[in-house]
Amino acid sequence: MTQPLTGVRVVEMAGIGPGPHACMMLADLGADVVRVVRPGVVEPPSEHTLRGRTTVAADLKDPQERDRVLDLLATTDVVVEGFRPGVMERLGLGPAQVHARNPRAVYARMTGWGQTGPFATTAGHDINYISLTGALHAIGTADQPLPPLNLVGDYGGGSMLLVNGVLAALVQRATTGEGQVVDAAMVDGAGLLLAGILELRTTGDWRDERFDNLLDGAAPFYGTYRCADGGSMAVGAIEPQFYALLLEGLGLDAADLPDRDDRATWASLRERFAEVFATRPRAHWEQVFGGTDACVTPVLTFAEAPSHPHVAARSSLVATADGHVVGGAAPRLSAGDPVPASPGRASTLDDVLTGWAAPTPT
């Protein structure tokens, strides 16, 4: 079955973080992705964010090689770059130069701070982008903010936003015949991801205090609990009907417990739940709550997750023959599901240009 992006050509100027992750998703959807690296860089075949690539080397500071890369960009549908603002322009490969040769190109720019603004040319990482949006302040213990890995800025707010912009631009190009520049910034994406939390704050249902709100671990019915064997269970029994099933599984009677809607009782209610969960190993609670609507699930390690029946059924995570854990392709599409692209291969600019000599796909 044909992949959704079959025939779409993508040139990725090598970088780290959300740019490669975005191009991985485009490759999983069937795009032909060429990654341009510096001479001497050797990237072994990867089942992770660098999968699905043809990798070529080019010295962008060499005028002749730079012109060959510009020839490549003149035949592509999408350009993805993640340098600081102005770098591609100084190399002679910026949007103006590319659009002069290829007005249909979607030129996607992935940065932390965006192409404009006081911080645009400064360095940063995921933790910095989410700190300025309020997201980091809301995550952690009561005493200290804690970075949520690099999922919120780099990937949720970065690569997902970039792919969204690329696909939207390709759809619009089908109507206008013209490409455009996509300015994807992790700080913008992190702010966008906060829409639901900010809505709760507007209605007075969220306070600017960590571990004091419905979804930040303060609510006893939305958090994690240690089991007798050291494992943990995740509890998300927000709605009353789910909460009732939680109590049933724990063998507790609501009449004997504090009012769950009274924040003043949350600490004592959490303590009671913790006492019960700690009496049995995780496997016991998995059996008790498995298949119910209590919204109680085991907290699995990366090593355990691929073998969970639901994760395995959907190939959300896959354990490879050599023991690596690999993220599957998503989302599923009725006209042809994305599939994890191959680990990729090395090639040359000349070979790619020869292969792309045909007219640019529509």
By annotation, the residues acting in catalysis are 125, 154
C-alpha 293/C-alpha 44 separation (Å) is: 44
Cβ(173)–Cβ(106) below 8 Å: yes
CA distances from 167 to 5, 16, 74, 255, 338 (A): 10, 21, 19, 53, 15
DSSP state of 231: -
Please give the Cα distance from 249 to 106 (Å, whole number). Answer: 53
| Residue-wise burial string across 295-314, b where 16 or more C-beta atoms lie within 10 A, e elsewhere | bbbbebeeeebbeeeebeee
Distance CA 335, CA 32 (A): 19
Reading the block at residue 79, the tokens are 């350009």
Which secondary-structure segment (H or E) carries 96?
helix 95-101
CA distance 308 to 20: 28
Q: Whose CA is closest to 276, among 348, 332, 328, 225?
A: 225
